[in-house]
Amino acid sequence: MNAPYRVLLCDLRSDQVLDALPMQGVSLDDYIGKTGSLRGTVPIPNAKIAERARRALVPGRTGLWVERGRSLWWGGILWTLNLASDARGFLGAQIQAGGWESYLYRRLLYDSQIAVQVDQLDIARALVDYVQNTPGGDIGITYDTHTSGVLRDRTYLRYDLPAVGDLLDDLAAVENGFEWRVASFRDSDGRRVKRLRLGYPKLRAGAADIVLDHPGPVLSYTWPTDATEKANAWQSRGATINQNQAEDSFPLMSQRVLDDADVASGWPRLDGTSDYTTVEQQQTLNAHARADATAARNPVVIPEVEVRLGGQITPALLGATVRLRIRDLWHPDTLDARYRVVGISVTPPERGRPETARLYLEVP
C-alpha cells in the first residue's frame, strides 16, 4: 500500500501552517545544479474549499511542503496560480512551485561584497546571510559550517545588480568549485528544515550502493549521447574593464584552452565559449575557462532510468551512488557500472497510474 501524499501550505517567512489541501495530477522533481519544481491542481468542488484556497494559495508568499507518510519529500515556493474552469464547470487551481533555491534567484545584491582569501563555502554562506539579513528576507534557510580548504578572492559590485542565485552558480562552477542545493527534510525533533547543502567537490549521500537491474526494478531507460555541446578549444569573456570613454572598449579575455590530444586522436576542432560579465580578474576568468573546457571535453551523457517508487528509492537519493546493471540487445555482455544520482522526478500514484520515479544519472 503506497503511503499517502499530503501538501502543507505555509507562510513562507514564518513557516506557520495555513492549510492542507488535496491536489491532483501532482508531479515533482529535484536536482543537483538545477532548481526543482512542483506542479499540480487543487480541485475546487465547493464554496468552502474555494475560500480556503483563496486564503492559502498566495503566489510569492506561500511555501509548500510535500509529505509522503511522515517523510518530507519536497519543499518550495508557490510562484504561479492559474484558475481554470472546464466546459462542464469543474473549477481547479493549477499551481506551479519552485524549490527553495528559486528564492535566491529572485533576490538581488544591492550592496557590494568583498572577500579576500576566504573559503569558497564561507563566501556562499555569506551570500545567503546577506539575503536573509535584509528586512523580510529570512525564509529560514539554515546551513552547516564545514569548509573546502579552497580560498577565493571575490568582489561583487552593487552596480551590477546580480541575482544571488547566479553568484552562487558562478562561484560553484569555477575550477575546483563545489555543488549546492537547498534540501527539505524533517529533523530528529520532527521540525521541517530548509538546509543549504554545500558539497566539495560534489554532494554525496548514502554509504552503500543501491543495485538497480534491467530487466527488474528498472522499468525503462533512455541513454542519450549528445555531442552538440562538446568542445576541445575554449575561451571565455569577462567584464569590459576599459573605463576610458575616448577609447574602444573590449571585454577581458581568458587564456585559450586547447585539447591537442583530442584533435590528435581524430576529433574535429570544436570551439566553445562562455561569458562572465562581472569577472574582472584575469586569474578568476582563466579558472572559469578551464572548468568550462573540462566540462565540455567529452560528449554529455545523462542516462535516465524509470523505477517504481518506495523502499530505498526516495528523493533522499540525490547525491547517492547506484549500481546499474542492464542486459539487453545493446548490452549483450551486461552493463555493470556505478553512477551518481543528480536528479529525481516523482510521479505519485493516481487511478490507473503506478507510483514511479525517473532518476537522472551522472556518468563517471
What is the per-residue pLDDT across 226-244, written as a single tens digit (0 to 9) for each?
899 999 999 999 998 776 6
**Do both 307 and 284 map to the same domain?**
no
**Do both 314 and 355 map to the same domain?**
yes
What pLDDT shows up at residue 244?
A: 64
**Do both 319 and 215 map to the same domain?**
yes
pLDDT at 348 over 80: no
Instruction: Please identify, among 250, 274, 294, the residue that sits at the C-terminal boundary of a domain.
Output: 294
pLDDT at 258 over 90: yes
Would you say residue 201 lies in a domain? no
pLDDT at 364 over 70: no
Higher pLDDT, 177 or 352: 177
**Do both 218 and 332 map to the same domain?**
yes
Concatenated DSSP letters of 214-258:
ETTTEEEEE---B-TT--SEEEEEEEE----TTS---EEEPPPEE
Contacts with 296 (C-beta within 8 Å, 6 or more apart), sequence order: 229, 230, 231, 234, 272
Instruction: Please identify, among 266, 294, 322, the residue that sits at the C-terminal boundary of a domain.
Output: 294
Spatial CA neighbour of 345 closest among 301, 300, 306, 303: 306
The residue type of 246 is: A
Would you say residue 54 lies in a domain? yes
- Tally the domains of the chain: 4
pLDDT at 328 over 70: yes
Give the SS3 label for residue 109. Answer: coil
pLDDT band, residue 143 (cuts 50/70/90) = very high
pLDDT band, residue 9 (cuts 50/70/90) = very high
Give the domain range for residue 279.
233-294
pLDDT at 98 over 90: yes
**Do both 86 and 22 map to the same domain?**
yes
Taking residues 9-35, what's their average pLDDT? 95
**Do both 50 and 81 map to the same domain?**
yes
Spatial CA neighbour of 236 closest among 180, 156, 295, 299: 295
What pLDDT shows up at residue 55?
A: 97
| H helical segments located in the chain | 47-56, 101-104, 120-132, 164-173, 260-264, 282-296
Instruction: Please identify, among 243, 270, 294, the residue that sits at the C-terminal boundary of a domain.
Output: 294
Would you say residue 205 lies in a domain? no
**Do both 22 and 69 map to the same domain?**
yes
How confident is the prediction for the chain on average, in pLDDT? 93
Q: What percent of the chain has pLDDT over 70?
A: 97
**Do both 33 and 158 map to the same domain?**
no
Max CA separation in the chain (angstroms):
74
The position carrying cell 523505477 is: 307
CA angle at residue 236 from 156 to 249, to 5 degrees?
75
**Do both 256 and 306 map to the same domain?**
no
The position carrying cell 484558475 is: 83
Would you say residue 180 lies in a domain? yes
Would you say residue 356 lies in a domain? yes
CATH number at 354 reads 2.40.450
What pLDDT shows up at residue 2?
A: 47
pLDDT at 299 over 90: no
Would you say residue 196 lies in a domain? no
What pLDDT shows up at residue 4?
A: 67
**Do both 70 and 120 map to the same domain?**
no
What pLDDT shows up at residue 87?
A: 86
DSSP 8-state assignment for residue 187 = -
CATH number at 73 reads 2.30.300.10
Would you say residue 266 lies in a domain? yes
**Do both 305 and 214 map to the same domain?**
yes
**Do both 277 and 330 map to the same domain?**
no
Would you say residue 318 lies in a domain? yes
The position carrying cell 487551481 is: 93
pLDDT at 246 over 70: no
